[in-house]
């Protein structure tokens, strides 16, 4: 015969404190990891940034440009075309690549002009990436797009 220990108030208190302690520890750990990665801040002041959004979007749409983005074998390629399907060569073009959830892997790319578009040599690890492209038309109109890119594992 074995004798079972009675469930006392102290045991219930110890069980409750242990359970809540584990929950609180997990929440604090997750919060710490969340703060260490991407802050979520895209613009400093969203109200100010929104004031000219419609005008910038309408001007960009009036350009009629289409952007073709591709990544293969360590090379990112960009190609701009107009509504007639003709290749467009912007006055200025900048591109940056990074992970969607952290700023740690962000880098600006050096684009080289090539037949039909632009290219940059960049090694991207498998997973999700975001590519920010900014181009300037001859008339000074800015073209800005943020694209998602998924790199498959080899």
Give me 10's structure tokens. 């102290």
When pLDDT is averaged across residues 113-139 and rounded to a whole number, the result is 92
What's the number of domains the chain is made of?
A: 2
Number of other CB atoms surrounding residue 31 within 10 Å = 10
- The C-alpha atoms of residue 119 and residue 114 are separated, in whole angstroms, by 7
* φ/ψ bin of 117: left (φ > 0), alpha (ψ from -120 to 50), beta (otherwise): left
Per-residue pLDDT at 149 exceeds 90: yes
Q: What is the pLDDT of residue 58?
A: 94
Domain membership of residue 130 (yes or no) is yes
Domain of 19?
Answer: 8-37
Instruction: Give the pLDDT score at 94.
Output: 92
**Residue 67 and residue 20 share a domain:** no
- Unique residue bearing structure tokens 């600006």: 108
- The length of the chain is 154
Q: Is pLDDT above 80 for 38?
A: no
**What are 12-36's pLDDT values in tens digits?**
999 999 999 999 999 999 999 888 8
Instruction: Let me know if residue 84 belongs to a domain.
Output: yes
- Overall average pLDDT of the 82-103 stretch: 89
What is the pLDDT, as a whole number, of residue 2?
Answer: 66
Could you tell me the pLDDT band of residue 59, with boundaries at 50, 70 and 90? very high
Distance CA 34, CA 76 (A): 30
pLDDT at 46 over 90: no
Same domain, 18 and 67: no
Flag whether 78 is in a domain: yes
Which residues, at least 6 apart from 78, have a Cβ–Cβ distance to it below 8 Å?
Answer: 67, 68, 69, 93, 95, 111, 117, 118, 119, 133
User: Tell me, what DSSP letter sits at residue 153?
Assistant: P
Query: What confidence score (pLDDT) does residue 5 get?
Result: 85
Tokens at residue 91, please?
């006055």
- Please give the share of the chain, as a percent, with pLDDT higher than 70: 97
- Position 112 pLDDT exceeds 70: yes
The whole-chain average pLDDT of the chain stands at: 90
Q: Is a pLDDT exceeding 80 seen at residue 151? A: yes
Query: Do 72 and 30 reside in the same domain of the chain?
Result: no
> How far, in Å, CA of 109 to CA of 101, rounded?
19
Contact 106, 98 (CB under 8 A): yes
Q: How far is CA 121 from CA 37, 49, 51, 74, 147, in A?
A: 26, 32, 36, 6, 18
């Amino acid at each position: 015969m074995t004798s079972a220990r009675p469930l006392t108030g102290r045991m219930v208190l110890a069980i409750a404190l242990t359970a809540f302690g584990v929950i609180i520890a997990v929440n604090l750990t997750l919060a710490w990891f969340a703060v260490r990665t991407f802050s979520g801040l895209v613009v400093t002041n969203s109200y100010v940034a929104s004031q000219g959004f419609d005008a910038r979007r309408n001007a960009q749409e009036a350009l009629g440009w289409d952007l073709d983005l591709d990544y293969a074998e360590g090379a990112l390629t960009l190609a701009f075309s107009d509504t007639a399907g003709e290749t467009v060569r912007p006055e200025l073009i900048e591109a940056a690549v990074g992970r969607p959830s952290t700023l740690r892997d962000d880098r600006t790319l050096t684009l080289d002009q090539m037949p039909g578009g632009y290219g940059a040599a960049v090694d991207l690890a498998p997973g999700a990436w975001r590519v920010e492209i900014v181009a300037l038309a001859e008339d000074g109109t800015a073209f800005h797009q943020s694209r998602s890119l998924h790199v498959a594992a080899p």
